[in-house]
Structure 1
Amino acid sequence: MIATWLGAGTLLVLQPYVHLDPELLMLTQFGPTIGVLAAIGLLAKDSQQGTKNALVRAGVGAGIVVALFGVCAAALALAGQPLHLAIPEQFWLIAPLQLIGACGEELGWRTFLQRHLQTRFSMIVSAVIVGVLWSTWHIQYYAFGPAFFLSFVTMSVAVSLIMAVLVRGTSRRGSLLVAGVFHWLLNLGILILLNFEQGGLRNMLILAASSVVIAAVVVGGNRQVTR
């Protein structure tokens, strides 16, 4: 984790020097990749076990993301604040770069750390640990205040629980596909529908609450299935 945080901090400093718009790609997303490569080097030759269902799980994950933003939309409507669609001009470039960034993160979080922790702890405990660590290295959100950041931590833990269920039993390659696609769609949904990059506390609170609701349904449903 030290390598992850140091790597993310270094990449944050380098961002303005490479003249890459943060909306296109945040270099800090590759912090977890630096961490996992520092720990184990490039991913070892992987087993094919569990990969056959990766595409199906990625599709399920996409459906969960849609449900998540549906709950957000309903909550905003009840609050008298409907969603405002805002598609960036360079969306055609942002979308593929965001996928690269999301997979760069998930190489460290779900493909390595979640799997490693589950050799010692339960899936839920492992997901909570990963979620907290995942949130703390988003150092750009510290400046938005404690209420915003605590909401972000809550959202991250809830989403981490959802992804832990989705990647459970998959191979490394499968978990990277499933978690990477989920993370990518989540980022795009936030960018287009909520855009709390400027410190929108209301949107962050609603996203956090909606994530907790969806996580409770997903984790509860998984327990029923595995009984």
Structure 2
Amino acid sequence: MRKTPALLPATVLFLVVSFLAAGLFGALQPATRIPVEVIQLTQFGPALGVAVAALLWPGRVRVLLAGGLRGRGGRAAVLLVTAPLVIAVSAGAYAALTGDAHPTRPGAPFALIAAAQLIGACGEEIGWRCFLQPLLRTRLGVLPASIAVGAAWGVWHVQVLAQHPMYAGAFLVATVSMSVVMGWALDGTGVAGLPFAGGFHALVNLGMLVLMDEESGAVPPMVLFGASCLVAAVLWSWWGVRRGWRAAPAPDRLPRIMETVR
């Protein structure tokens, strides 16, 4: 039998460390004087969660991150097209409804923000998509695993839950939907999919920063963004089912080395 980190202990450990580390990093951010529009230190909470799990199950975490499939580059690359389309639809609808179509000018140089956003996004995605998603995939199908990861990812943004209920609900719809999109696109890629997951995540963040004002707590842009993400998730799921992509639990996707790795 192929051995992975015990599902429940590994999941709980990762989530506890990710939540606590995010809170700690968020509390430390003001002392660093790094503007949150450049990068939020909380984004490195999931990376620390993976690191702690690797201390307990070093070989097995390494195999999870390595992934069990190759040849998914074309599918993963479509993520980098999906992100701007989602932003274009949501920002276009927002502009049509409000008449406000002008972009926001960031306070820091855009190139610096873009690079930092990509680094921060990868700090999150190595945990959510490269560790937790394949861990859950050993027991769950693509959709259940992606929905579970997306829900945890959404709740991890705990400050959002203090916003208006419609804002918080739309945000959770967005995180679950984006998780479904990335789940279909990156299934089996492991850490090789990190540049695509991080790129998708960073492009979404940059688009929202420049073209929307959801950070103010405004409900309409978040609702439109959540709806756009939901449409993308439905289309990706339809495409995946139509193309016959494997959606069942996939313990056999992990290499045989799992039988001996401690």
Question: What is the TM-score normalised by the length of structure 1?
Answer: 0.91
C-alpha separation in 1, matches of 2:217 and 2:84: 23
C-alpha separation in 1, matches of 2:211 and 2:234: 23
Answer yes or no: is 1:65 the counterpart of 2:79. no
CA 1:87 to 1:77, structure 2 compared with 1: closer, same or farther past 3 Å? closer
Where do 1:77-116 residues align within 5 Å? 77-90=95-108, 91-116=110-135
C-alpha separation in 2, matches of 1:112 and 1:201: 32
Check conservation: 1:57, 1:178, Cα contact below 8 A. Answer: no
Return the offset for 1:89.
3.8
2:47 to 33, 38, 47: 33
Check conservation: 2:66, 2:192, Cα contact below 8 A. Answer: no
Return the offset for 1:87.
3.3
Return the offset for 1:77.
4.7
1:9 to 14, 23, 33: 23
Answer yes or no: is 1:178 the counterpart of 2:178. no
C-alpha separation in 1, matches of 2:155 and 2:119: 21
Where do 1:18-167 residues align within 5 Å? 18-41=32-55, 44=62, 47=66, 50=69, 53-54=72-73, 56-90=74-108, 91-167=110-186
Aligned to 2:252: none
C-alpha separation in 1, matches of 2:95 and 2:25: 38
C-alpha separation in 2, matches of 1:89 and 1:36: 33
TM-superposition CA deviations, 1:113-146 (whole Å, max 9, x none): 0000010111100001100100111123233222
- Secondary structure, aligned partner of 2:48: helix
TM-superposition CA deviations, 1:60-79 (whole Å, max 9, x none): 11111122123214422552
CA 1:8 to 1:207, structure 2 compared with 1: closer, same or farther past 3 Å? same
RMSD between superposed Cα atoms in Å = 2.0
Structure 2 residue runs without a partner (length 5+): 1-14, 246-262
C-alpha separation in 2, matches of 1:108 and 1:37: 9
1:188 to 201, 206, 211: 206
**Percent of pairs with identical residues:** 35
C-alpha separation in 2, matches of 1:50 and 1:185: 25
Which one has the largest radius of gyration?
Answer: 2
> Would you say how many aligned residue pairs link Structure 1 and Structure 2?
225
